[in-house]
Amino acid sequence: MKLATLKNNTRDGLLIVVSRDLKRYAPAKNIAPTLQAALDEWDAISPKLEALSKAVNDGSADTFAFHQDECESPLPRAYTWMDGSAYLNHVELVRKARGAEVPESFYDDPLMYQGGSDTFIGPHDPIEAIDTSHGIDMEAEITVITDDVPMGVTPADAAAHIKLIMLVNDVSLRGLIPNELRKGFGFVHGKASSAFSPVAVTPDELGEAWTDNTIDLPLLVDYNGKPFGKANAKTDMTFNMARLVSHAAATRHLCAGSIIGSGTVSNKFEGGEGKKIEDGGVGYSCIAEVRMIEKIQTGEFITPFMQFGDTVCIEMNDADGNSIFGTIKNRVEKYTP
Amino acid sequence: MKLATLKNNTRDGLLIVVSRDLKRYAPAKNIAPTLQAALDEWDAISPKLEALSKAVNDGSADTFAFHQDECESPLPRAYTWMDGSAYLNHVELVRKARGAEVPESFYDDPLMYQGGSDTFIGPHDPIEAIDTSHGIDMEAEITVITDDVPMGVTPADAAAHIKLIMLVNDVSLRGLIPNELRKGFGFVHGKASSAFSPVAVTPDELGEAWTDNTIDLPLLVDYNGKPFGKANAKTDMTFNMARLVSHAAATRHLCAGSIIGSGTVSNKFEGGEGKKIEDGGVGYSCIAEVRMIEKIQTGEFITPFMQFGDTVCIEMNDADGNSIFGTIKNRVEKYTP
């Protein structure tokens, strides 16, 4: 099934069940008022949502036209958002750009940070930024939402705790990150509020594309209307989503509704460091990687980070070309405190 | 007023208003079911809670006996928990123990990490730990809860967003921290679930002790029944709570119910690195600092980190010796995944 959250002037929005083709929806308020409320009692509530989903898809339920721009992120605020770095090509390129090495341990021990989860923006909301000197960048990723996960869960057991899947634009402020990473305490200023895909889906919606706890499909990133990235989310993934959930829960329990991210999807492409789409490659899921490739090829960073007015779109299509999660579409706007 | 959350077999517990002397309470369920719900509409709801508080304290409300061991943390789960390091003596000692330097910038730019906020333990709940080799340590701190804080708020304007004050035991796993800090992405394994004081209080409850956006009172730490620390939370504080809120909100908005922590309270004591209570000092608010002092004085770490069965108590008394927040009391217990 596919779930979304409509804006309704409350902090947590209104839970709805969306048709597979993203055209119609039915409110789920008689089942659970919000997605967090559904996740809090997932075993009892999800069968009722599945029944409504069936009725939405077979036309037997009363439905309304679904508009992605009326959505909050599926969880407008969450109790945990932890983001891994499962694609080592991204880590290698971004570190190279900062003049930093990739420690050997990174290939066995996932990098992960605890992100701000209290003020996600909607999938079509603007990215508010104070200053373009902060180095505004998109990061296109896949993410999962869990139910309650016990401390010390193994990767094998973690798989069963993955209940929903989304995409995310993990907005990064590259200009502020080097100073924060030197401090060692992770990101406070270097990550802005993230935007998630309009729709969260259960793994079965992905069919055979959900394999080995990841998605074997290209993640499509458009930047200012041009194709920018189409890296496959399974290719070159060092740690799958179950492994990342296990890492997140190593020393404490995770609450239902925890969101775990993959990190920026990045493909090496024929063993190298990737190629731009216009050069015949699969492109990139963030600007920092393109800049590093430019630096390697020409000695200069060419593509600037996002400026006010720039827009990024992120989505993923099934084998038939149909959008699975809807589109994340964020435009950068100036915010004056 | 003083607020607390009773365990009631729900995830977010039952909001109650507690008498100033911590002896009686009245349920607030007709005003707001949970503390988060109250914070979500604080301007509208807090006057009603204040009215109930007045009735609880003057005896005109129906009340029940208040038992601290029936409490959840005031917010059993929160959308944000960000913890600073405002007492540089702590940072200096802990870094010395790791053989690391304190960069000059730390005296101008607060250290802060985004902590796990989805599974706080109750004030009298056990600290569940898998292995004592993880180096289980308490960290006694003061914290504030904010309403909605706009991005880029100044320290001066941040003060008005501080709505409630609590204590916290920010449980740390010292054995896992050096490896994580080397990775630069902050704490995922190095921090267990935190416990907050039974009661959260509005700043006016502290009277003149709430000054310059901190608390001018000793934070009392007992370890296995013996006095361990009584450092003053105002003394040697480099960044006050309003400054820390401003730091947390520099590049994104914070949602109502955000918890911001001071970091481990630590006093230099007569210009030095502090002294144990039995040596005539004010002691320490975590074991890591004591161990470093031992190392400096004797060449050896003597006090072990917490073992299964060890218990820490944290509280703060007003000038008349009355407990303000109730007592955090956590015993370490073995958890087997």
**Res. A102 pLDDT band, cuts 50 70 90:** confident
By CB atoms closer than 10 A (0-12, 13-18, 19+), residue A311 is middle
Cβ–Cβ < 8 Å for B90, B239 = no
**Res. A295 pLDDT band, cuts 50 70 90:** confident
pLDDT for residue A99:
76
Alpha helices by DSSP H, B285-327: 287-298
Give the Cα separation of B40 and B237 in Å (integer): 30
Cβ–Cβ < 8 Å for B88, B236 = yes
- Cα angle vertex A6, ends A5, A7, to 5°? 120
pLDDT for residue B180:
93
The pair of structure tokens assigned to A242 is 């179950």
- Cα angle vertex B149, ends B147, B151, to 5°? 170
For all residues of chain B together, what is the average pLDDT?
Answer: 96
- pTM beyond 0.90: yes
**Res. A297 pLDDT band, cuts 50 70 90:** confident
Give the Cα separation of B301 and B298 in Å (integer): 8
Segment A83-106 shows an average pLDDT of 84
Range from A256-260, A295-299, B154-158 carrying the lowest mean pLDDT = A295-299
Question: H or E segment at B94?
Answer: helix B88-98
User: With 80 as the cut, is the pLDDT of residue B60 above it?
Assistant: yes
Q: Which of A309, A303, A299 is nearest to A276 (CA)?
A: A303
User: With 90 as the cut, is the pLDDT of residue B19 above it?
Assistant: yes
Cβ–Cβ < 8 Å for B303, B288 = no
Q: Which chain B residues are Cβ-neighbours of A79 within 8 angstroms?
A: 77-79, 117-118
What's the longest Cα–Cα distance across chain B?
Answer: 61
Q: Which chain B residues are Cβ-neighbours of A244 within 8 angstroms?
A: none
Residues 258-277 of A with CB under 8 A from B: 258
B116/A192 CB distance under 8 A: no
B297: three-class secondary structure by DSSP: helix
pLDDT for residue A274:
83
B276-308 pLDDT, tens digit per residue, is: 999 999 999 999 999 988 988 888 999 999 999
Q: Phi, psi (5° rounding) for residue A275?
A: -140, 150
B337/A152 CB distance under 8 A: yes
DSSP B27: E
Interchain contact B82–A (C-beta under 8 A): yes
Give the Cα separation of A218 and A284 in Å (integer): 11
A252/B130 CB distance under 8 A: no
B179-208 pLDDT, tens digit per residue, is: 999 889 999 999 999 999 999 999 999 999
User: With 80 as the cut, is the pLDDT of residue A133 above it?
Assistant: yes
Q: Which chain B residues are Cβ-neighbours of A182 within 8 angstroms?
A: 103, 184
A288: three-class secondary structure by DSSP: helix
Q: Which chain A residues are Cβ-neighbours of B11 within 8 angstroms?
A: 40, 255
Give the Cα separation of B284 and B24 in Å (integer): 32
Give the Cα separation of A12 and A230 in Å (integer): 32
A188/B82 CB distance under 8 A: yes
Range from A116-120, A287-291, A310-314 carrying the lowest mean pLDDT = A287-291
Interchain contact A103–B (C-beta under 8 A): yes
Give the Cα separation of A200 and A78 in Å (integer): 14
Q: Which of B3, B116, B112 is nearest to B66 (CA)?
A: B3
User: With 90 as the cut, is the pLDDT of residue B90 above it?
Assistant: no
A11-25 pLDDT, tens digit per residue, is: 999 999 999 999 999
Percent of chain B scored above 70 by pLDDT? 99
Interchain contact A186–B (C-beta under 8 A): yes
- How many other CB atoms are there within 10 angstroms of residue B307's CB atom? 12
B93-136 pLDDT, tens digit per residue, is: 877 766 778 888 888 999 999 999 999 999 999 999 999 999 99
Out of A113, A116, A182, the one facing B252 most closely (by C-beta) is A116
Task: State the residue for tokens 């630069």.
Answer: B184
Interface probe for A, chosen from B185, B255, B264 (most Cβ of A below 10 Å), is B185
User: With 90 as the cut, is the pLDDT of residue A273 above it?
Assistant: no
A252/B116 CB distance under 8 A: yes
Q: Which of B97, B95, B174 is nearest to B131 (CA)?
A: B174
Q: Which chain A residues are Cβ-neighbours of B106 within 8 angstroms?
A: 183
pLDDT for residue B121:
98
pLDDT for residue A268:
87
Residue in chain A lying closest to B132 (CA)? A251
**Res. A93 pLDDT band, cuts 50 70 90:** confident
Q: Which chain B residues are Cβ-neighbours of A78 within 8 angstroms?
A: 79
Q: Which residues contact A324 (CB under 8 A, 6 or more apart)?
A: A199, A201, A205, A206, A217, A315, A316, A317, A318
Interchain contact A118–B (C-beta under 8 A): yes
Distance of alpha carbon B260 from the chain centroid: 9
The pair of structure tokens assigned to B91 is 């940072």
pLDDT for residue A27:
98
Interface probe for A, chosen from B147, B157, B183, B245 (most Cβ of A below 10 Å), is B183
User: With 90 as the cut, is the pLDDT of residue A199 above it?
Assistant: yes
A186/B187 CB distance under 8 A: yes
For residues A36-46, one letter each, b for 16 or more C-beta atoms within 10 angstroms of the residue's C-beta and e for the rest, the string is bbbbbebeebb
Q: Which chain A residues are Cβ-neighbours of B103 within 8 angstroms?
A: 182-183
B3-12 pLDDT, tens digit per residue, is: 999 999 999 9
**Res. A310 pLDDT band, cuts 50 70 90:** very high
Cβ–Cβ < 8 Å for A141, A263 = yes
Cβ–Cβ < 8 Å for A319, A195 = no
Question: H or E segment at B163?
Answer: strand B162-169
Residue in chain B lying closest to A154 (CA)? B337
Identify residue B49 by its one-letter amino acid code: L
Segment A96-113 shows an average pLDDT of 85
User: With 80 as the cut, is the pLDDT of residue A136 above it?
Assistant: yes
Q: Which chain B residues are Cβ-neighbours of A185 within 8 angstroms?
A: 85, 111-113, 181, 186-187
Out of B153, B251, B258, the one facing A118 most closely (by C-beta) is B258
Q: Which chain B residues are Cβ-neighbours of A122 within 8 angstroms?
A: none
By CB atoms closer than 10 A (0-12, 13-18, 19+), residue A143 is buried
A335/B152 CB distance under 8 A: yes
Q: Indicate the pairing of strand B259-261 with strand B81-84.
A: parallel
Q: How far is A268 from chain B (nearest CA, A)?
A: 23
Residue in chain A lying closest to B115 (CA)? A114
Q: Which chain B residues are Cβ-neighbours of A113 within 8 angstroms?
A: 114, 185-186, 188
A204-244 pLDDT, tens digit per residue, is: 999 999 999 999 999 999 999 999 999 999 999 999 999 99
